[in-house]
Amino acid sequence: MKYVSEFQDRNAVQYLAASIRERVAGKDLTIMEVCGTHTMAIARSGLRELLPDQLTLISGPGCPVCVTDVSYIDRAIALSRMHGTVIATFGDLMRVPGSDSTLEKERANGADIRIVTSAMDALFMAGQKAGQRVIFLGIGFETTIPTVGVVIQSAKSRHIRNFYVLSSHKIMPPAMKALCEGDVRIDGFLCPGHVSTITGPAIYDDIVKQYGKGCVVTGFEPTDILSGILMLSKQILAKTPAVENQYKRAVLPDGNPRAKEVMDEVFESCDTPWRGLGTIPASGLKIRDAYASWDASVQIAVPVKESREPHGCRCGDVLTGRIQPEACPLFGNPCTPDYPAGACMVSSEGTCAAHYKYGFHRK
């Protein structure tokens, strides 16, 4: 078993899509796929074409690059301009617009900014660059946070003193709750599979209890997504909201206990700003005092001007499901993946990028 192609079976896809159409006929449902990887998978596989018109899928705030606040980018840029500093970042952040520059532009102007695919690579870099400081831009949800935690622990145990993390890590449930309190209709959530791989499905219990919305933890292959939508539709129509797990092969009831332990040991809860959603209480994770020596926000003071959102960009409305990207006046002209005006057009998991790339018009 390769755990990929088997879950793309055409017959099963047809069967599941037909079951959804049959069930939803004459009803009217709105489901939010929270996770950017779901948005991308749905766009790429053309699943939307198989779904009935009455079933509206809206994209949520689950793309870490897209919800990174402008002020964070501005701070990263300010740090990159400091002497003796190397910035290590996931590639997606390079082109996210700050108030008046991007990391990509700063690199073209001579800043030492390196793309890494793992926080561990940034730590190795620090080991090789004595005399310089390496700052890793730590963004991401529960999926990524334990990996950064392991790296910070390694920095401590190996006494690497020139490595820092600028943490803007975020956790998913508070943002979902904020959406439940908002004015956008959501009948149920397709919950992010790989966040849940770490946490287990229980983190969504409150959303069911407090807001009566169904939550189905869902995988990323076409049969997974359709099964998830079918399970959720059944719940919504029967008015029996619950937390269900479609993605059992990767999401165990307790998640990954080791990863949760690391996350808890290195990070603690804080309020944090989300692009488009504003500051959400207890939705962020900051580095604990015991690891403050590796916390860039504690160790490196740098003046940052007041931030401003890119003019005219409606990422905030896209991230909350209020509008589809095509409704943004900048969509496609001038905002494209090559010249993004907003963060949602930058990351391959961004809703605007998915819409642009696959040119589909949502139903």
Partner 1 sequence: MCLAVPMRIVKIDGNSAVAEAGEISQTIDIQLVPSIQLNDYVIVHAGFAIQKMDESYAREALELFEEMGRIS
Query: Looking only at residues 125 through 184 of this chain, which bind partner 1 when binding is defined by CB under 8 A?
Result: 139-141, 143-144, 146-147, 150
In 3-state terms, what secondary structure has residue 128? helix
Q: With CB cut-offs between 5 and 8 Å by kind, which of partner 1, ligand SF4, none does residue 223 bind?
A: partner 1
Partnered with residue 101 across adjacent β-strands are none
CB atoms within 10 A of CB 157: 8
Which does residue 345 bind out of ligand SF4, partner 1, none, counting CB within 5 to 8 angstroms by kind?
Answer: ligand SF4
Q: How far is the CB of 313 from ligand SF4 (least distance, A)?
A: 3
Q: Cα(231)–Cα(209) distance, rounded to whole angstroms?
A: 18
Rule CB under 8 A: say whether 42 interacts with partner 1.
Answer: no
Taking CB under 6 A as the criterion, the residue among 226, 266, 335, 354 binding ligand SF4 is 335
Binding-site member from 191, 280, 287, 345 for ligand SF4 (CB under 6 A)? 345
**Can residue 330 be called a binding residue for ligand SF4 (CB under 6 A)?**
yes
Q: Smaller CB distance to partner 1: residue 119 or 207?
A: 119
Among 56, 197, 283, 320, binds partner 1 (CB under 8 A): 197
Q: What are phi and psi of 283, to 5 degrees?
A: -105, 0
Site map (CB under 8 A) of partner 1, residues 256-295, x = contact = x-xx--x---------------------------------
Q: Of ligand SF4, partner 1, none, which one sits near residue 217, judging by CB under 5 to 8 A according to partner kind?
A: none
- Pick out residues in 288-317 that bind ligand SF4 (CB under 6 A): 313-315
From residue 222, alpha-carbon distances to 6, 29, 82, 226, 229 in Å are 10, 20, 46, 6, 11
Residues 6+ apart with CB under 8 A from 100: none
Q: At what angle do helices 119-128 and 145-157 cross, to 10 degrees?
A: 30
Cα–Cα distance for residue pair 38/60, rounded to 1 Å: 10
DSSP string of 51-99? S-TTEEEEEEEE-TTTT--HHHHHHHHHHHTSTTEEEEE-GGGGG---S
Q: Would you tell me which residues interact with partner 1 (CB under 8 A)?
A: 1-4, 6-7, 9, 11-12, 14-16, 18, 35-37, 62-65, 90-92, 117-121, 139-141, 143-144, 146-147, 150, 194, 197-198, 223, 227, 248-252, 256, 258-259, 262, 347, 349
